């Protein structure tokens, strides 16, 4: 299908081309192409000669009247390569040679922006970016190779994010909303795997009032931190630290431009089984929340636009949202009254968050409401640098799922093509807590110290993972923290990671800024050598019967293709399916959610404004269901079934739960175990329900025990500290002249037995809890009875 579409497009492009150079649109198109490469000044000679046709791009390169400098030539070459690259999926990439340029045999391979979709030419470079092409730190050489004809041409650094140069063009593309489908699977691989972007915020009022200097200067993709220093003889001098990143966004760059430089290129490949993560890193008050906040909203706009395309709407791709935070090493649902969540890992090391509420969304306004609601629930506090400082890592996830009706017969035959509610792709936005919070561990109250320690731990764990990946280590310590467990997806498989490092420009933040930049540099270095080996390593799991996994009904996201090549195949399969199964799917009277007992309710805001009922038989639900009249009553009945009474926190249905949305409780039933992959038919629904209920209760009890265990551990540490103080006192006394050694021995012996008793008790508690964990695991496996 993709191939067909591309052929059609190529033909259309040729037709456009054949329409002749007199075409008015041609000038604009050519101008945009040139502008996208920062070569707008070359546009005039072309226009004046009437050569407003893409075939003349090589002439610009070759004939000497266009590109003069090495940099211009490089840019022009990149432009040509990208045009060709995106337009022809079947041919080799265009490699300009003298012969090729003069004969122009590849002209048909050039691709009009009209047929490249609405990305606008400004994103071409971004898409063509190869993650093996990044420059290393402190590289001060020109970012372009002297000649495009050198074999090392692939090593050049694309000027993807040359924002000052491209800003004008980007503003133009504002009017052209993203609405195209990925034209080629190449698009998937052409988006950098790890992208590190730095954003400098302007000096704030306090800093200006304190007359603090701006010590960060930005130039294209690099920046310099001018660190004031003192010599031993107290002479002042400035040490310059230069860094180079995929993009450096200066203080005057808007949030919209940040979106374009970071998330926009990833959106289309979310539909090709990509798991993308964007996280903001930086000291408190550096602009992480300011930067992250608008990104999901923009992403939803674009995702919704794509979802409305027939190719996706026909096969019922839906968008789901969840929002949670990691605070003090624990997970809390920000859209469900901060309900505590459990993180579990299945046999395939896929992380699932038990209890997390997912909401199907179909409207940007609803997403805004969710984000506001979630932000209001976030753990914040006040710091010297930021009045509203985040004390947690907040994670907002947007998941595209393919909702497929399942034919009973096919499902029984383990037909791998029927994957109801399967995750197609997802994008996570992570607003990390301030990176210097670890330093808060010595002062403040106990709570702040614990917070600081937790944040420190998670950021260190993140660093450790990055280091391990960097060193191609076999073992990646994802389990080092909750954060890294959640982020695991970002570094393995078909993933894309965008790290936005936020920095404050003030001289007072110089040290933190340098730390942030060094951290960012470390992440950047990950992408330098490519990640193929790392991916394999991280995905090295025992062989699993893929067909059996794919035959699962109730498990989402069960198969992570281990390598890019598989990912592409999968992407192709999904695209193909969209045409072969959509009609049948749409007519299927029974939805997967109904069968599995999960309410499937439309998120039409317009409709639902008139009703207040949020769950189980709301007006919006009825509206949606009216197109399936035969199943309404059944569905409502089953909606009740899937909300069994649970532990105290989960039992309550709060009246202020967000309206207009269908809610899905990703409970333990979503933990994909190998056993559970094989079952979840309607016949087993009631047994399932019973097991689910007891499993839920079990999880509640387990959570309470977990709390108690951690509290006991904390108490044990406090007791130990008390004992240590006691021992120090004893030592100090025994050192005094005339001290009684007998007293010392007796008292020390008592102290030691106290110490031992504390440790033994904690150890016993740990063993009990470990046993409970095993029990729970067995129960969760049991929930799917054998056929």
Ligand X SMILES: Nc1ncnc2c1ncn2[C@@H]1O[C@H](COP(=O)(O)OP(=O)(O)OP(=O)(O)O)[C@@H](O)[C@H]1O
Site string for ligand X, 404-433 (x = CB under 6 A): -----------------------------x
Residue 283 marked ligand-binding: yes
Distance CA 682, CA 690 (A): 14
Report residue 209 as tokens.
């009032």
776 near ligand X, rule: CB under 6 A: no
Give the nearest distance from C-beta 432 to ligand X in angstroms. Answer: 8
Query: Can you give the length of the chain in residues?
Result: 787
Q: Which of 289, 600, 620, 673 binds ligand X (CB under 6 A)?
A: 289
- Single out the residue of 4, 735, 747 nearest to residue 311, CA to CA: 4
Q: Does residue 296 interact with ligand X by CB under 6 A? A: no
What is the per-residue binding string for ligand X in 259-288, x denoting contact by CB under 6 A?
-----------------------x-xxxxx
- Out of 290, 579, 628, 769, name the contact with ligand X by CB under 6 A: 290
Q: Which of residues 172, 390, 570, 660 is near ligand X by CB under 6 A?
A: 390
Residue with smaller CB distance to ligand X, 372 or 775: 372
Rule CB under 6 A: say whether 608 interacts with ligand X.
Answer: no
201 binding ligand X? (CB under 6 A): yes
Question: Is residue 202 at the binding interface for ligand X, with CB under 6 A as the rule?
Answer: yes
Nearer of residues 430 and 601 to ligand X, judged by Cβ: 430
Q: Considering the rule CB under 6 A, would residue 458 count as an interface residue with ligand X?
A: no
336 a known binding residue?
Answer: no
374 binds ligand X (CB under 6 A): no
Q: Which is nearer to ligand X, 388 or 652 (CB)?
A: 388
Dig out the tokens for 424 from the structure: 């197609």
Of 213, 218, 207, 209, the C-alpha closest to 243 is: 218
**Cα–Cα distances in Å, from 620 out to 150, 333, 660, 662?**
62, 24, 7, 9
Distances (CA, A) of 2 to 126, 454, 461, 574: 21, 47, 41, 11
If one asks whether residue 502 binds ligand X (CB under 6 A), the answer comes out as yes
CB-CB contact of 294 with 367 (8 Å) = no
Q: How far is the CB of 288 from ligand X (least distance, A)?
A: 3
The span from the CA of 603 to the CA of 386, in Å, is: 36
Residue in the block written with tokens 């002042």: 236
Phi, psi of 283 (to 5 degrees): -65, 165
Nearest to 425 by CA among 545, 312, 585: 312
Q: Which is nearer to ligand X, 57 or 196 (CB)?
A: 196
The per-residue b/e assignment along 448-475, b for 16 or more CB within 10 angstroms, e otherwise, is bebbbbbbbbbbebbebbbebbbeeeee
For the bound state, the minimum distance from the C-beta of residue 200 to ligand X, rounded and expressed in Å, comes to 8
Q: Is 456 in the site for ligand X (CB under 6 A)?
A: no
Contacts of 757 (CB under 8 A, 6+ apart): none
Considering only residues 332 to 361 of the shown chain, the ones binding ligand X according to CB under 6 A are: none
Q: Residue with CB nearest ligand X?
A: 287
Instruction: Identify the residue among 389, 525, 552, 591 touching ligand X (CB under 6 A).
Output: 389
Query: Which 731-760 positions form the footprint of ligand X (CB under 6 A)?
Result: none
Mark the segment that binds ligand X (CB under 6 A) among 189-197, 200-208, 309-317, 349-357: 200-208
Taking Cα atoms as reference points, which of 389, 393, 380 lies closest to residue 454? Answer: 393
Does position 203 interact with ligand X (CB under 6 A)? The reply is no
| DSSP classification of residue 317 | E
Q: Is 434 in the site for ligand X (CB under 6 A)?
A: yes
Query: Any known ligand binding at 287?
Result: yes
State the nearest-atom distance from the C-beta of 697 to ligand X, in Å: 37
Does residue 386 interact with ligand X by CB under 6 A? Answer: yes
* 3-state class (DSSP) for residue 229: strand
44 annotated as a binding-site residue: no
- Residue from the set 51, 204, 313, 314 that interacts with ligand X by CB under 6 A: 204
Phi first, then psi: give them for residue 64, nearest 5 degrees: 85, -10
Report H helices in 293-388. Answer: 294-307, 310-313, 364-377
As given in the structure block, the two tokens for residue 507 are: 């001289």
Element (H, E) at 726: helix 685-735
Q: Is 770 annotated as a binding residue?
A: no
Residue 171 assigned ligand-binding role = no
Tell me which residues touch ligand X (CB under 6 A): 201-202, 204, 282, 284-290, 383, 386, 388-390, 433-434, 502
Binding residues for ATP: 282-289
């Amino acid at each position: 299908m993709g191939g067909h579409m591309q052929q059609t497009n190529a033909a259309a492009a040729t037709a456009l081309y054949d329409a002749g150079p007199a075409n008015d649109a041609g000038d604009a198109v050519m101008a945009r192409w040139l502008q996208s490469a920062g070569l707008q000044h070359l546009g005039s000679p072309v226009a004046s000669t009437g050569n407003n046709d893409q075939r003349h791009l090589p002439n610009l390169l070759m004939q000497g009247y266009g590109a003069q400098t090495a940099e211009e030539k490089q840019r022009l070459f990149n432009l040509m390569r990208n045009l060709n690259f995106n337009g022809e999926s079947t041919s080799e990439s265009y490699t300009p040679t003298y012969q090729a340029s003069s004969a122009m045999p590849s002209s048909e391979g050039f691709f009009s922006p009209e047929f490249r979709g609405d990305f606008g030419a400004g994103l071409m470079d971004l898409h063509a970016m190869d993650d093996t092409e990044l420059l290393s730190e402190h590289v001060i050489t020109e970012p372009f190779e002297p000649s495009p004809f050198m074999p090392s041409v692939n090593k050049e650094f694309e000027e993807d994010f040359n924002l000052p140069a491209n800003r004008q063009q980007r503003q133009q593309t504002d009017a052209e909303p993203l609405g195209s489908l990925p034209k080629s699977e190449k698009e998937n691989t052409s988006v950098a795997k790890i992208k590190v972007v730095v954003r400098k915020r302007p000096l704030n009022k306090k800093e200006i009032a304190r007359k603090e200097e701006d010590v960060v200067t930005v130039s294209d993709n690099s920046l310099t931190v001018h660190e004031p220093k003192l010599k031993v003889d107290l002479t002042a001098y400035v040490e310059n630290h230069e860094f180079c990143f995929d993009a450096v966004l200066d203080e005057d760059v808007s949030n919209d431009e940040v979106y374009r430089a970071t998330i926009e290129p990833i959106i289309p490949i979310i539909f090709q089984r990509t798991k993308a993560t964007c996280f903001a890193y930086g000291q408190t008050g550096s602009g992480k929340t300011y930067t992250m906040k608008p990104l999901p909203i923009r992403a939803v706009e674009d995702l919704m636009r794509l979802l409305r395309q027939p190719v996706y709407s026909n096969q019922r791709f839906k968008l789901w949202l969840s929002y949670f935070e990691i605070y003090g090493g624990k997970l809390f649902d920000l859209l469900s009254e901060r309900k505590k969540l459990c993180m579990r890992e299945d046999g395939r090391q896929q992380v699932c968050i038990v209890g997390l509420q997912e909401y199907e969304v179909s409207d940007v306004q609803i997403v805004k409401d969710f984000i506001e609601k979630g932000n209001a629930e976030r753990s914040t506090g006040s710091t010297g640098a930021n009045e509203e400082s985040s004390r947690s890592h907040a994670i907002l996830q947007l998941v595209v799922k393919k909702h497929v009706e399942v034919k009973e017969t096919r499902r029984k035959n383990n037909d791998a093509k029927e994957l109801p509610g399967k995750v197609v792709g997802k994008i996570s936005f992570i607003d990390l807590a301030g990176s210097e919070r670890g330093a808060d561990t010595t002062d403040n109250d106990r709570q702040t110290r614990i917070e600081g320690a937790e944040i420190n731990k998670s950021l260190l764990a993140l660093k450790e993972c990055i280091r391990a990946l960097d060193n191609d280590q076999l073992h990646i310590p994802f389990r080092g923290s909750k954060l890294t467990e959640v982020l695991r997806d970002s570094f393995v498989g078909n993933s894309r990671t965008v790290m936005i490092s936020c920095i404050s420009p003030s001289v007072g933040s110089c040290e933190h800024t340098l730390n942030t930049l060094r951290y960012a540099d470390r992440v950047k270095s990950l992408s330098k050598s490519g990640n193929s080996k790392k991916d394999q390593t991280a995905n090295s799991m025992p062989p699993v019967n893929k067909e059996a996994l794919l035959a699962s009904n109730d498990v989402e996201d069960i198969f992570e293709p281990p390598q890019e090549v598989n990912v592409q195949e999968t992407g192709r399969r999904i695209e193909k399916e969209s045409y072969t199964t959509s009609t049948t799917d749409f007519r299927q009277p029974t939805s997967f959610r109904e069968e599995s007992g999960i309410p499937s309710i439309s998120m039409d805001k317009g409709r639902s404004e008139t009703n207040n009922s949020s769950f189980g038989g709301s007006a919006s639900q009825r509206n949606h269901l009216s197109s399936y009249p035969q199943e309404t009553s059944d569905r409502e009945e089953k909606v009740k079934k899937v909300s069994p009474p649970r532990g105290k926190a989960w039992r309550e249905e709060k009246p202020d739960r967000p309206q207009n949305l269908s809610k899905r409780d990703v409970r333990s039933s979503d933990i994909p175990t190998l056993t559970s992959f094989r079952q979840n038919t309607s016949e087993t629904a009631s047994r399932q329900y019973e097991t689910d209920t007891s499993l839920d209760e079990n999880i509640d009890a387990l959570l309470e025990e977990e709390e108690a265990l951690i509290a006991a551990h904390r108490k044990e540490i406090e007791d130990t500290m008390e004992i240590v103080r006691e021992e120090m006192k004893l030592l100090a006394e025994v050192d005094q002249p005339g001290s009684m050694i007998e007293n010392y021995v007796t008292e020390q012996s008592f102290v030691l037995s106290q110490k031992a008793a504390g440790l033994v008790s904690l150890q016993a508690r740990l063993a009990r809890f470990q046993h409970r964990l095993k029990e729970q695991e067995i129960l969760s496996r049991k929930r799917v009875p054998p056929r």
